[in-house]
Structure 1
């Protein structure tokens, strides 16, 4: 280990703002209080209680939890929606605290074990586009460090130890990892950045965690260990599920932002990731990239100068124009990687709209740029004002907690609540049950509503 504890803490403190800017914080006082209380309780009985642990909920639908060196631990609202009791949460909390106390993140960063492919907020893109992952490069690298299986096994063991120590039944941790694996299989792969993409499944994880739990509980009265299903589900009522349309959403290959009131088309079959600070788009082969961000400048000229300077671009051509009634500037510029000498070409549209200046980047390898121009132009030149009230007033989906009126199967309850047939499997998954699971009168379960 080449990193001191002071360095670990400094890394976490330095990169926490980038993580928060990337995803935003989810404002839910009850849930935030819960994860703070449980996190600090667990931190005190961990192997490094002196670390300044912080626990935060990120406003992202991605199912993930991760930690930075020094004690910064994050849960997405996406993973919180998939827990079905406090014990599942406590197991994953212990697992992430285990990565911190065992210095796995610091160790991985010391070895610089970052994948050769760059994952930009969830998109897979060529590493030659690295400069355009604007939001805190070190934070992104920390986020996508892939733990080894030995690290995962050790964190599983610590997760069992820590969650048991604060009174939870850690066998539920094994059940949750089983649910994550089922999600991966249903998706036909891993939609990055999900928990299993950076936390590879050690062999026989389910059996191993159960065996570790039996050992940890050997001298404990098991009846005293908590599950906390009802209390946890009650906290979830009203939680936003999936993408929050208020922050921007895709519908029929069109991106809409209700609050900033703009829209633009997205090329067919391109992946899209939307974060509070940028919209990211890329084809599945990763050979191009489009980004929409806000410029930190007051004029188009100042914004264009900042783009050229910040990205070390050599200007090829530039012109001013009017785009759908908005003042704009278009630039073509090149960037050469100093180490590899590989050249990329960048089309930039700077658009002044509603008192803000938007940076629209289209990035491709120099030799592929001409082939990508039609895609870039169709998207950027069709940046327009959003006026459709139906698109502006679109409501998010939320978790709603229901109580079974009688003993019956989950499937019959979901159909009684008029859940769509094509979402029954998804609903079974987020409930942690099979559709034929029998619920008794008064049992709580989740449905998805729009409000």
Structure 2
């Protein structure tokens, strides 16, 4: 949430289906391709055009030895795709994002977040994930995915208001698309199960050709499945449903398939110790510059604000906005240009939610004060194909030229479900802001007498320390550690 000038739209809204995320769900088919058609100038131009927006959307690019290492591993695998035999043709970016994600776009552009790299346990897993993404490009899944998305673009989430307007072309559509409780057509924004299995198989093939242990594809999917289940448990949501901001719906269903494709007796390099030494110190979780979620509290040290999500809601932080999710409603915090008039700010925020030629306005705007902050809010009732919903814009003036607002969608008559959150918005002091420090991965060597419980006690969390430690290190419920083994911890750092 470094510059929350608009809602976080997600990678699928950029370049009309150009992005190919590590989505772990499914729908359409096609034959597995052993190699891809070589990169062409048109694809390179498209990739170069989309690249800056993608990097900005995911918090910027990391640089330095760690980023160089990730790029070198990726290029050494990507050359086995048939897209190009020149490693330099692939542009690899390590993104400063706390979301577990990786994706690729045509033109040789491949991306992975620092959070996903931190979840991995060896170099072969990194190579497998990046090979999977390159496999999507090699199999030309993007064109099929874009055509399917275009056929299903009108999801009807906010039907009458957005009549004739593709959801991807309006902010309210994007919010509706993200927060709708049941929108089957959302599957068109992800890859089909068959396409995911194809990309897995190609990734396994590339691993073999590059000399890596092909079983790494299965083990990294296993870690993703475990992380998804733990996140669901900690957030109090159904583990079978993906996070709203996630493009990794169901890795568990593919783990055994990937391990079977690799073969029980497969061999090859994992380069575990090298990998762990290279990722030592990588940031884990939210970057304080983008705001931090701790339980149900969101704090942004740069903007000097904090608020609490209501009981039963969980938050997902992005680089441009933080979303608040629950069964009775969904919301996002954002900002826009402010001229000192909350009334016009709110009306502009409502109108920005719909396309040209359409109108959306609150029935009235009420002024109030929240913890000493001038505030105002408006509500509009909207008819949709699934029934009526209430859209709320609740805004706060933090300075004469700076305001923030929640935009919320709930079922009609249920807008008060988010009222405790609106009332919790507050300023934080300079000392409070300075006290917010990042977490980082620290690689340590297990000493004689160390146990999982003892090591987990050092994790910089207030809850589920052992569960987090086991998931982070790919350990099962009954796995132990042994002296001399390297493991990852998550610790607090001063900067």
TM-score, normalised by the number of residues in structure 1: 0.77
Pick aligned residue for 1:333 from 373, 377, 380: 380
C-alpha distance after superposition, 1:272-295 (max 9, x if no partner): 1221211211322xx422221010
Give the structure, 1 or 2, with the largest relative contact order (CA under 8 Å, sep 6 or more).
Answer: 2
Matches within 5 A, 1:30-49: 30-49=65-84
Q: Match of 1:433?
A: 475
Pick aligned residue for 1:316 from 341, 351, 363: 363
Q: Match of 1:189?
A: 240
Question: Cα 1:307–1:398, aligned 2, differ >3 Å: closer, same or farther?
Answer: same
Aligned equivalents of 1:448, 1:167: Cα separation in 2: 31
Q: Match of 1:166?
A: 210
C-alpha distance after superposition, 1:242-287 (max 9, x if no partner): 3344532344643322221112232111121221211211322xx4
CA contact (8 A) 1:109 1:142 kept: no
Question: Cα 1:353–1:50, aligned 2, differ >3 Å: closer, same or farther?
Answer: farther
Aligned equivalents of 1:102, 1:423: Cα separation in 2: 40
Moved more, 152-161 or 48-57: 48-57
Q: Match of 1:217?
A: none
Aligned equivalents of 1:22, 1:422: Cα separation in 2: 30
1:132 aligns with 2:172: yes
CA contact (8 A) 2:373 2:396 kept: yes
User: Mind listing any 5+ residue stretches in structure 2 that lack a counterpart?
Assistant: 1-16, 19-38, 158-166, 179-184, 233-238, 355-359
Q: CA deviation at 1:23?
A: 3.2
Q: CA deviation at 1:94?
A: 0.6
Aligned equivalents of 1:169, 1:7: Cα separation in 2: 35
CA contact (8 A) 1:53 1:73 kept: yes
TM-score, normalised by the number of residues in structure 2: 0.71
Aligned equivalents of 2:255, 2:370: Cα separation in 1: 56
Aligned equivalents of 1:412, 1:43: Cα separation in 2: 39
Name the Cα RMSD after superposition: 4.1
Question: Cα 1:184–1:445, aligned 2, differ >3 Å: closer, same or farther?
Answer: same
Q: Match of 1:351?
A: 396
Q: Match of 1:109?
A: 146
CA contact (8 A) 1:326 1:352 kept: yes
Q: CA deviation at 1:378?
A: 3.3
Q: Match of 1:63?
A: 100
Q: CA deviation at 1:446?
A: 1.2
Task: Give the structure with the higher percent strand.
Answer: 1
Q: Match of 2:357?
A: none
How many corresponding residue pairs? Answer: 421
Matches within 5 A, 1:169-248: 169-184=213-228, 187=232, 188-192=239-243, 193-194=245-246, 196-197=248-249, 201-202=253-254, 204-211=256-263, 214=266, 225-248=268-291
Q: Match of 1:123?
A: none
1:303 aligns with 2:303: no
CA contact (8 A) 1:54 1:72 kept: yes
Q: Match of 1:290?
A: 331
Pick aligned residue for 1:73 from 81, 97, 110: 110
CA contact (8 A) 2:224 2:251 kept: no
Aligned equivalents of 1:134, 1:34: Cα separation in 2: 35
